[in-house]
Chain A
């Protein structure tokens, strides 16, 4: 019968349906066959699947497989894949083309049941973090509270109640048992994940399978996220009255496996995405360090472990967070949602007490059944579980993040050992009834296959009550063992559809109370950390480019078999420049002039290779700025860096000097082309101001420094004071390194004289490779940033510009230009130092770069990574 149905769907092609994985059979409830979401007991298609199946059938099997591949590619390109735990090796995030359809009436029952459950968990949290009456009266065992690592003592208000909701977002993992009922398996209260995937699944499906969405109108996700955004604003404490509340999402950062989700969510909610290092507590309130100074943060959307948020009060060896964060909460200056201590309610053992707590705390019985759960600290429950351990999923009582054990799937000896462990400390364990998950149709290798699935639904506290996201996330289960509810380790996900029952109604969730929204303004302030990263990205890009220029010039000269004295002089200067750029050891540089130069230099360059180091730095900074770079920019950077690294790695070692030099020259040319592409993209692709400004500023500062330093080394020709002709190699090298040979020739033909050369290198404001251009640009940007042409930093840049002009003027007016040029050496060194000072002052002024925080007390001398 089932196969008949499947054939109808997929256009009558050969047998398509395959049975899902075999179940592990155990006596009792688990013996029942899993329920099929699409097909009823009599083999007919459930009515709410009708329209969808028609649309799928019209596509045909081949087309469906093609669309499935398109969906996979969408997630690969979005970068959702590499962000799952385990890095690149982790399985890709996949969205099955066939959504899970839930009838509206059924969904509403679930939503109402979960709303009640969320309210109950909130009440439990309020008690545990307040008066602890449930403990005092014996309604909760101490072991479930005091041994729970997510019970944060520093979040408790021992003298009264905590203010405001501790839960704002709640998610539940459910599965449908053979009796047709949905059962809650796990509660997610710390900071439920998966909402970005809900958004992306729907977006990707809309794009790749528009036919499906035309078949049926659905309840929309939008209102949930709008309401969330609105609720965050309204959570702001009274202290924020009279201004636009500051809302920020706190992420562990780019190394977090959930970084992708944080980027997507913060964009959808229009809030700043910040890391602990971006924040500081001053005078009992929380601030974001931005370029415009400290901006108040009133509401913090927590996306990091609540235990690591405040190093001042965390249990032992705290390495993360913002010191004083909890004090800001205590003082009523800040709201954190979900509360740092909210993870407490995820304890699997707590579920055993919810049916008893509901009447007590809410005055009504639990509406939605959870999977039957026992806490084994109760001797009767322990005996019951141990009598038939194979029937149960065994879980740690207070830690919902540990995978559950399907005792029935264990070999005899392992099961006996588990029983011993339980007996040794029964209160540390809980068991839940094993329920066979329902199956839903999925695209498999042989067409549509029924596979077991679990459902995650999301609810939001909007200040009035709990509102459900009109949809959700269904996840395929490799085995019917969904106990931990952890997001990864899943072969595929599904979009969840709740059809609109009355297409005339524009929007489904009528329960949303529409009230006047406060005005929101995307402030566009960039955190200092981001500006800092852009500044250094600019500096490293420039360093990479100028390194390539030096190496290319060196390689070209080494290619000639026996260099003449002029080339030797240039090589000496180049070697000095390479030493300064940290691309060559001083040892080797000193050997220039004694033969064989080529071998020594090439060997040194190869052995002490630092270009890959620079490529790595650029790549690291580009990664940190992933959320700030456009897709195109990110792609260009990534592709270019990968290719260049390969090219440098492939430069032949050993005795093939000629080939080595050629490959080196080629790789350097590649770097120069790459740098030009990135600069062009930045100019064409990035919004002026903010990040781009700091990228530019970093480039200008780095280049100005290199110009002064390299010119000094080029002019430093022994004996030039007596014989001006000896300065010539230096002058021509100076032009070559500034890419200004052609410009010079077009102006002065072939006669090389110090003053015209120096003018082009130092004072010509129109030469983008010259010093004046860099200083002028830096001055204007610094003035822009401060909104003041006379700001100290702009004035410093102006003074340096004046000095550059003065140097050229003096050489031009001197009776002996060569002598005067040589006299510039100390002034050029001073210029190099002054530009470094300018860079330091920019760093101090804008990036608030403070020394690393550390701690006193229980963990002395411990270096803390967070911020105070």
Chain B
């Protein structure tokens, strides 16, 4: 599937900002299963200093600095990607989850990079409550992917999607108590539970295709940033991407920007400004399929 993404973030400041520094994770990551055909990040006003590079996790990152006084900031990321996540292995053919945890603990060849994602991170510690919830999907000896699929489906079933009841500072324990939230909350919850079991899990940031109600046109800008879970199956089978918000395995309806230990590592736009007072925020995401590949069978 080939998509064209347009992601605009607009800040209107209460006063003049004299100096601003931004760190952006807005260019999709190039991967064997995701070919980045083009990607560009433009800002208004333009940057006085800019660098495009990779972060510790290997994600594309843009640092930019604005030194002229400005009353607002708009950043637009446009990209074309061809994406087809690999099909997951047969669940029964994956390693027992305890074995995956042991391999991650040992580290070394094949496992050292994945091992990073089993430790606490600032926004996503391994919470005992989340661990207890996740443990329901992982009886002893169960193949890891079977457990993961079960957990993914349980979160979809047990939790209400409701925007506005949680924000970035809502702790995972409260999401667990309320049984509602948005994609970020479910992703953090699932990662936290998996880490409590010793399983590496990472936070994937990106977009998901939305389908208009029957008989209606696609609305431009109505799409949103999305988040889901990457879970480790062991050195051989590597990673599988699971979307607990929708209870699905990620295949070709998602576009990946990058991943980290939690939202904090991969937030699309962060910044520090001098001045400006309060700010208003508008975000518009448009994910447009421009060619369906025959190979996907759709």
Q: Which residues of A approach B to under 8 Å, CB–CB?
A: 132, 135-138, 140-143, 146-147, 153-154, 156, 158-159, 280-284, 311-313, 315-316, 323-324, 327, 330-331, 377, 427, 850-861, 864, 866-868
Contact = CB atoms under 8 A, between A and B. Distances in A.
6 nearest A-B residue pairs (beta carbon): A857-B270, A138-B108, A142-B115, A153-B56, A323-B272, A851-B275
B272 A146 contact: no
B267 A330 contact: no
Contact of B273 (A156, A327, A868): A868
B275 A850 contact: yes
Contact of A856 (B19, B116, B269, B275): B269
A858 B267 contact: yes
**Max chain B CB contacts within 10 Å: which of A284, A852, A868?**
A868
Given A142-B111, A158-B57, A868-B21, 20 more contacts: A135-B108, A136-B109, A137-B109, A138-B107, A153-B55, A153-B265, A156-B56, A158-B58, A159-B53, A159-B54, A284-B51, A312-B21, A316-B264, A327-B65, A851-B274, A853-B272, A855-B271, A856-B11, A856-B22, A857-B267
Contacts of B54: 158-159
Contact of B274 (A132, A861, A868): A868
Given A153-B55, A312-B272, A850 B18 contact: yes
Contact of B270 (A143, A377, A856, A861): A856
Interface residues of B, number: 51
B168 A142 contact: no
B209 to A, nearest CB: 25
B15 A851 contact: yes
| Most chain A beta-carbon contacts within 10 A, residue among B20, B105, B111, B273 | B273
Nearest to B200: A142
Contacts of A146: 115-116, 119
Given A143-B119, A282-B67, A858 B264 contact: yes
A283 B49 contact: yes
B53 A858 contact: no
B279 interface: yes
Nearest to A140: B107
B150 interface: no
A280 B19 contact: yes
Contacts of B111: 142
A330 B49 CA distance: 13
B270 A853 contact: no
A154 B56 contact: yes
Contacts of B264: 315-316, 858
Contacts, number: 147
A843 to B, nearest CB: 15
Nearest to A856: B271
Contact of A312 (B116, B169, B263, B271): B271
Contacts of A330: 51, 53, 63
B275 A312 contact: no
Given A311-B272, A854-B273, A323 B263 contact: no
A856 B279 contact: yes
B23 interface: yes
Given A136-B112, A856-B271, A327 B107 contact: no
B120 interface: yes
Nearest to B104: A142
B48 interface: yes
A147 B119 contact: yes
A324 B271 contact: no
Nearest to B116: A146
Residue of B104, B105, B107 with highest tally of chain A CB at under 10 A: B107
Nearest to B264: A858
A564 B61 CA distance: 79
